Amino acid sequence: MKIVKDMNSIQPIYWKTAIIVFVASLYFIKLIRSNDTSKIIDIKHQILIIKDKDAKEIERYPLNKLQAIELLKFRDDDYIHYELNFRFNEKRINLYANKDDLLPYLYAKDLSKRLHKPIIKIETEK
């Protein structure tokens, strides 16, 4: 069987369109993810809202009882991750965990500025 490719059937690569679609996709991903914390933190009313998987409210925590925003780095022999936590008097609530330190750091910085609460950095090792 002999396969012959027709040179007229080859479609050109539209680099401009591909780049525009790629940049627009990155922008929309950033836009969607940038609002993650505001889905659970009501800055205007100073409330942390904990919801279940069906978006039903489970608990509310007044942010005036928030002591600090914690940035935690957990390191083991073969594992590392970073967390963004809220520390209340009796409870620590995990807001975000990631293997990369950039997003927890950026969220903590933003929340610290908006809530006027200090950031505490904690590092744990095995």
- Segment 71-93 shows an average pLDDT of 86
**What is the extent of the structural domain holding 112?**
37-125
Whether 30 is in a domain gets the answer no
Among 13-22, 59-68, 90-99, the minimum mean pLDDT is found in 13-22
Residue 111 tokens, joined: 């929340």
Total domains in the chain come to: 1
- Rounded percentage of the chain residues whose pLDDT exceeds 90: 0
pLDDT, one tens digit per residue, over 98-108 is 887 788 888 88
Provide the CATH number for the domain around residue 104: 3.30.720
Residue 122 tokens, joined: 């904690």
- Segment 52-56 shows an average pLDDT of 78
pLDDT, one tens digit per residue, over 28-38 is 676 555 544 44
- Rounded percentage of the chain residues whose pLDDT exceeds 70: 78
Q: Which residues 6+ apart lie within 8 Å of 64 measured at CB?
A: 46
Question: Which residue from 6, 86, 14 is spatially nearest to 46, judged by alpha carbons?
Answer: 86
- Cβ-contact 71, 84 below 8 angstroms: yes
Whether 29 is in a domain gets the answer no
Position 7 pLDDT exceeds 60: no
Whether 19 is in a domain gets the answer no
Whether 62 is in a domain gets the answer yes
Position 65 pLDDT exceeds 80: yes
